[in-house]
Structure 1
Amino acid sequence: MSKELPQPQQSEEIDLGQLFKMIGNVFERFFKFIGSLLNSLFMAFVWMVFFIKKHLIKIVVAAIIGYGLGFFKTKLSKPVYRSSAIIKQNYNTGEVLYETIQYYDKLVAEGDTLALANNLKIDRSKAASIRGISIKAVTNDNNRIKSYDAYIKDLDSVVASTITYEDYLSFSEEYNISLQELAVNTYSNASFEDVIVELIHKIETSPYFQNVQNRDLSELKGRESAIRETLVKSDSLQAVYQEVLKKSAEAKSGGQTSITIDNTENKSVTKEFELYQSDLNLRRELVEIQRELEEKENILEIVSIQKERGVVRNKAEVFGFEVSRPLAYGFFLSLMIFVLLLVVEFLKFLERFRSKL
């Protein structure tokens, strides 16, 4: 009887040659794209270099004119003095603090010296000398990292694992930072400490923050009282343990026979040590509470303040850097000319492109 050999079943097999060819085509297109992108960036860089070379004299002249304007304006205009203070927020006052400063700065911009004088409790001539009121956070990268670490510790571990440092920076606000610099720019070199103190007083006398402060102080004092009562009871219990150990030691020294069951004596020593450790933890917590009470006594705390006279403010801020005003004028005027020339060049390109249609 003849046996029929089973016919091999036809199956769809991937041609490895075609697969490698497809992968090679993908990489080839990818590298061509990267090459074309780098080429375009290089051509744009070359074009920009020739553009600047073509208009370099105009840009330099604009910078010189701007520097001259800034120099003469600085010399001819009245000097601006700056009085400032570093304040610490012990409560979440940041948003209200910024809104309050913006309100008074708006009064300055509108020239409403009467309302400014009445609200800040100063005479009208002093109010008229105020040029602007500002506030900004005092921080750096190290402080931001510490703030991020403290923020993460207050969150649930699952939620905290989903929030990166970049995410925190994206939704954190400058007014939430603890240290803030409050500044008053004026045309007078007199001390404006009273103005800064009054601005802080406006926040501290807010009914909302006073209620929050009262609740926090009440809670902390309650915890302090409970811990002190616990420590008093603990001292009494320790005295009992010490008396028991003392009598046990006297019994042994007197030659009396004592029988201990289940290491009762060792357990007494262990309990006394555990009680001692508990007392240490409670006393540490008591120190922390007292420190919190000292901080919560002030809604806003003045860290440092200029008490005598303001200092001349002759600097301007350019992209986060402080430079002299003539340099700032020269930079901005040359930048304006540069942008204007770019716009003109772009319009010429559009005209040439339209002519080809």
Structure 2
Amino acid sequence: MSKDSQQQNQSEEVDLGQLFKAIGNGFSNFFKGIANIFKGLFQGLVLILLHFFKRIFWYVGAVVIGLVLGFILNATAGKSYGANMFIKTNFDSGRQVYENINQLNQLASVDRDTVELGKILNISPTEASKLKGFYIKPGTQENNIAEMYFEYRQNLDSISQTEVTYKSYKESLSSYAFPVHQIRVASTDKFIYKEIEKAFIKELVNNDYLDELAMVNVENLKREKVALENQVIQTGYLIDEYLKIKISQSQKPESNGTNLYMGDAEASNSSVNEAELLKEQLKLEEQKREVLRLMVAEKDIISVISGFPSSGYDIREWYEKYIIAIPLATFSITLFVFLLIGLGKFLKAQEGNKVM
């Protein structure tokens, strides 16, 4: 092997050695960096624990004072109760319901007009002063929105169906477009809800047009029910007569059978047997049951799915309760004071170093 080849091989070996050494140093530095991070976190945790350990009596005292103050405030301050009502709006009455809820909330929480509020809900001004707010929001779940979207798409042409997505449809829905709504009433009196329920429901749909629409709808459903009952009776009569004729004809040896014709069936020389009549009767009975359901579901402008409970319940969040919020506040204030003291000492030390 020539001298030049030996020198080239040695040079390549040196280059590879340096490369592997650099890679090794890189991994070593990487793991050392991770170790330093954990070491720094551990030291920080120790410093924090040491801070609280040295001043444990200050923090315990602050929490105890906060608990005492919170207990006193909880005992003396008025409690806030709430109760929910779920309703189903009929005849596109959602707009009217939302408007009336906004009016009641304005009277209760903004104007504090207890006289007008009491007049509307048939209670005294003193009782009305205990009402603190009226709120409403759609009570429909995601699967209900999907059903509404599917039904909406069925009424569109093929081009519109491709353009309207579920997301765009959902975003286009207004609050009063949903059928079911949740109404919440806030009060300082937990037993006031049943007292205001009847007048409250009446006020939600205070609209002459909607009253007339509901009345006409009930009359139409009654007429449809009577018509369906007559058709059921007539169909049953036809079935009985058909069976009588069939039995009578079957007893004659020379009979080739008897056909019963309905409407234009005779002109086309096609007969209707009792099976078809029974199907028609079942169909009419099903239509009658649907009408009876609608007579209950659409009897009023709004259907109360769930009324107010006999008493309200505490609607405050955990962070709104004084016995929790006040101790957290006193603890935070104590921590903030010690941080300021520590920051002041650090700045003084830095200032002294600069002077030196």
- TM-score range (shorter-chain normalised) is 0.5 to 0.7
Deviates more, 1:230-239 or 1:282-291: 230-239
SS at match of 2:128: helix
Structure 2 vs 1, CA of residues 283 and 116 (structure 1 numbering), >3 Å: closer, same or farther? same
The match for 1:308 is 310
* Distance (whole Å) between structure 2 residues aligned to residue 91 and residue 197 of structure 1: 20
Structure 2 vs 1, CA of residues 328 and 138 (structure 1 numbering), >3 Å: closer, same or farther? farther
Listed one character per residue, the Cα deviations across residues 37-96 of structure 1 (whole Å, up to 9, x for unaligned) are xxxxxxxxxxxxxxxxxxxx9xxxxxxxxxx8xx96974743211132222223322111
The one-letter code matched in structure 1 to 2:284 is: L
* Distance (whole Å) between structure 2 residues aligned to residue 269 and residue 74 of structure 1: 86
* Identity between Structure 1 and Structure 2 (%): 21
The match for 1:211 is 212
The match for 1:133 is 134
Give the TM-score normalised by structure 2.
0.61
* Distance (whole Å) between structure 2 residues aligned to residue 146 and residue 181 of structure 1: 19
The match for 2:188 is 187
The match for 2:294 is 292
How do residues 59-208 of structure 1 correspond to structure 2 at under 5 angstroms?
75=74, 77-108=77-108, 109-153=110-154, 155-158=155-158, 159-160=160-161, 162-208=163-209
How many Å apart are 1:171 and its aligned residue? 1.4
How many Å apart are 1:184 and its aligned residue? 1.4
The match for 1:62 is none
For structure 1, list consecutive stretches of 5 or more residues without a partner in the other structure: 1-56, 58-67, 316-322, 335-357
Listed one character per residue, the Cα deviations across residues 120-143 of structure 1 (whole Å, up to 9, x for unaligned) are 211011111111111112122122
The match for 1:11 is none
The match for 1:231 is 232
Give the TM-score normalised by structure 1.
0.61
Structure 2 vs 1, CA of residues 161 and 193 (structure 1 numbering), >3 Å: closer, same or farther? farther
SS at match of 1:324: helix
Structure 2 vs 1, CA of residues 231 and 298 (structure 1 numbering), >3 Å: closer, same or farther? same
Partner of residue 282 from structure 2, selected from 280, 283, 286: 280
The one-letter code matched in structure 1 to 2:183 is: L
How many Å apart are 1:102 and its aligned residue? 0.4
* Distance (whole Å) between structure 2 residues aligned to residue 186 and residue 230 of structure 1: 54
Partner of residue 324 from structure 1, selected from 319, 331, 335: 319
Listed one character per residue, the Cα deviations across residues 239-268 of structure 1 (whole Å, up to 9, x for unaligned) are 33212211221013xxxx345799x9xx88
For structure 2, list consecutive stretches of 5 or more residues without a partner in the other structure: 1-47, 49-65, 262-268, 333-356
User: Quick check: 1:74–1:325 contact (8 Å CA) kept in 2?
Assistant: no
SS at match of 2:251: helix
The one-letter code matched in structure 1 to 2:103 is: Y
Listed one character per residue, the Cα deviations across residues 163-210 of structure 1 (whole Å, up to 9, x for unaligned) are 322222121122222222221111223332232332211234521111
The one-letter code matched in structure 1 to 2:148 is: S
* Distance (whole Å) between structure 1 residues aligned to residue 204 and residue 156 of structure 2: 32
The one-letter code matched in structure 2 to 1:112 is: D
| Aligned residue pairs, count | 253
* Distance (whole Å) between structure 1 residues aligned to residue 176 and residue 210 of structure 2: 16
How many Å apart are 1:115 and its aligned residue? 1.2
The one-letter code matched in structure 1 to 2:191 is: A
User: Quick check: 2:250–2:257 contact (8 Å CA) kept in 1?
Assistant: no
The match for 1:50 is none
User: Quick check: 2:101–2:204 contact (8 Å CA) kept in 1?
Assistant: no
The match for 1:248 is 249
* Distance (whole Å) between structure 1 residues aligned to residue 73 and residue 210 of structure 2: 43
How many Å apart are 1:99 and its aligned residue? 0.6
* Distance (whole Å) between structure 1 residues aligned to residue 182 and residue 198 of structure 2: 13
How many Å apart are 1:162 and its aligned residue? 4.2
